[in-house]
Structure 1
Amino acid sequence: MLEERIERYRDYIEADPYSWAGRWAEACAPAGGEAFHEVRLDLGCGKGSFTVEAARREPDALFLGMDSEPICIAYAAQRGFESGLPNVIFVPGTGMRIREMFNPGELGVIYLNFPTPFPRKKDSKGRLVNLERLMDYRRVLCDGGEVRLRTDSQPLFDFALTQVPLAGYELTWQSRDARGERPRDPMSEYEERLGAQGALVNAYIAVPGPPPSNPVQTAEMSLSAYIPDDLSSFDAYAPHGMQGTIQNLRNRAAKDGGDWSRGITL
């Protein structure tokens, strides 16, 4: 049962993460050991394979995996327990209250691995790459801190690129085939599954630059606006969370003589 699993691996779960703001590096250090030199957040960690592997590679940093699904936290905590690593822990949450969980400058890296795209305009506030979320991340990132996005969704990625300058960030790297360019980067079970289906990984690394004086959303919020006119680019693979949208566009294109854009109200 879920409750039993959570109890069994509770040493790798912090049920009240909002009580540790400003103290993560010291409070989570091994008994008698020095504080971790950096705290990193895997926001939307799923079952924790990326978080654990990243923690294995960088033992001097503390890795926090966050997910809103209790079942994911339970499995991630089990993975952490089985790894025996002292520098990884999992917390429940969505990231919408990130400024309550961390003090200003407390995080070195925020990972956004395959976030839910929320393609409809009415649901767009849930996107972790929004202007509002990027402004929140600015508050908790240290000088030189990074936001690292990975997604299988070309429309979400193109939308995300519009948000970077609005929030005063600067790109230090971007790719339409991140796995091809950086094959040795840690991989989540989610990316492994999507890769087997033919997905390419879009990715960027962004760092906060000078803060915008008056951040205002100017981008089109429906992800249908970022779908290319030629739908054949999705013949081999349709991004997770947008399969229905793309199929609807194909159906409309067939009905309207090839113009899928007429009447789109997503």
Structure 2
Amino acid sequence: MPHALHARLPKNFVLEERLERYADAIELTPERWRGRWAEACWRGIGAGAEAGRYREVRLDLGCGKGAFAVEAARREPDVLFVAMDAEPICVAYAAQRVCESGLPNVVVVPGTGMRIREFFSPGELARIYLNFPTPFPRKRDAHLRMASMERLMDFRDVLVTGGEVSFKTDSQPLFDFMLTQVPLAGYRIVRESRDARADFPDEPASEYEERLSAQGAKVLSLAVVPGPAPEHAEQTAELSLAAYLPQDLASLEEISYAPHGMQATVANLRNRAERLSSRSAGR
């Protein structure tokens, strides 16, 4: 979940009790299913599915409270959705949603994308969803981003041939940074939108996405697939997301929505641009 540390907890929320109550939906040792998720998690008959296994496996990386994964699973019962999040609170909420939905084709996994190759074998995932990953706007934290060349290179190892990475964000700087990462990792863009809610209104949405849209945020999205692997993947892009914001005062004043974690950066850039403009006017 993006920004999970800011999740509001209801009164009397006891994490351990929630995790135990909804344990049936949680897989605590995902590495044991590496290479056999489609068969090992089979619990029903999905439309068009081969008997005894799911048609394909998809990963919702950073699943938050699980709304997206559950709705996507409801629409495609022959696909197994693995909903992964590093925050125990999100794992508890997602597991509750899965149990209450009664859907057999969703499993919740505590974990981080840094361990994706430990949990899945080569060619095991048909799609990886990156819905609103934490931007980590500072250069010193860039290595933590899921939307990066380094992670795209990891994803290559577990995607099927032609497998897709689907990325959504409310952060224009992160989106523009991701556009630099796609070619560095040898991927190609198959779909791009700067207003995904308008362009693809029927796609499943998380609670977070719906809340952002209500606040006036535009949802930006990319779908990319691996092309030929680069011989030497090298990070050459500017890592600070502040570099992907406009630097002139007029453009900065037009920003009506500052992405999460960058409100102070936008304000600082505006103040700097105002000072420079005042100095120029005083000459």
CA deviations 1:107-140 (Å, max 9, x no partner) are 0000000001111100001111111100000000
What is residue 95 of structure 1 aligned with on the other side?
113
What is residue 34 of structure 2 aligned with on the other side?
21
Matched pairs, number: 258
Larger Rg: 2
Find the aligned partners of 1:112 and 1:245 in 2 and give their Cα distance.
Answer: 24
Choose from 124, 128, 147 the match for 2:165. Answer: 147
2:61 is the counterpart of 1:43: yes
What is residue 79 of structure 1 aligned with on the other side?
97
2:262 is the counterpart of 1:242: yes
What are the equivalent positions in structure 2 for 1:1-266 lying under 5 Å apart?
A: 1-30=14-43, 34-229=52-247, 230-234=251-255, 236-257=256-277
Q: Does the CA contact (< 8 Å) of 2:28 and 2:109 recur in 1?
A: yes
Find the aligned partners of 2:193 and 2:246 in 1 and give their Cα distance.
Answer: 18
**Structure 1 228/258 Cα, relative in aligned 2: closer, same or farther at 3 Å?**
farther
Of 83-92 and 222-231, the range deviating more from structure 2: 222-231
AA of the residue aligned to 1:241: G
CA deviations 1:43-85 (Å, max 9, x no partner) are 0000000010001011110001111110100010000001000
Q: Does the CA contact (< 8 Å) of 2:117 and 2:157 recur in 1?
A: yes
CA deviations 1:221-260 (Å, max 9, x no partner) are 11111102311232x211112112112212222333379x
Runs of 4+ in 1 over 3 A off after TM superposition: none
CA RMSD between the two structures? 1.4
Find the aligned partners of 2:94 and 2:263 in 1 and give their Cα distance.
Answer: 27
Percent identity (aligned)? 65
Find the aligned partners of 2:44 and 2:189 in 1 and give their Cα distance.
Answer: 38
AA of the residue aligned to 1:20: W
The gaps in structure 1 that reach 5 residues or longer are 260-266
CA deviation after TM superposition for structure 1 residue 23, in Å: 1.1
The alignment partner of 1:97 has SS state of: helix
The alignment partner of 2:271 has SS state of: helix
The alignment partner of 2:128 has SS state of: strand
**Structure 1 31/179 Cα, relative in aligned 2: closer, same or farther at 3 Å?**
closer
Find the aligned partners of 1:18 and 1:161 in 2 and give their Cα distance.
Answer: 31
> Structure 2-normalised TM-score?
0.89
AA of the residue aligned to 1:55: A
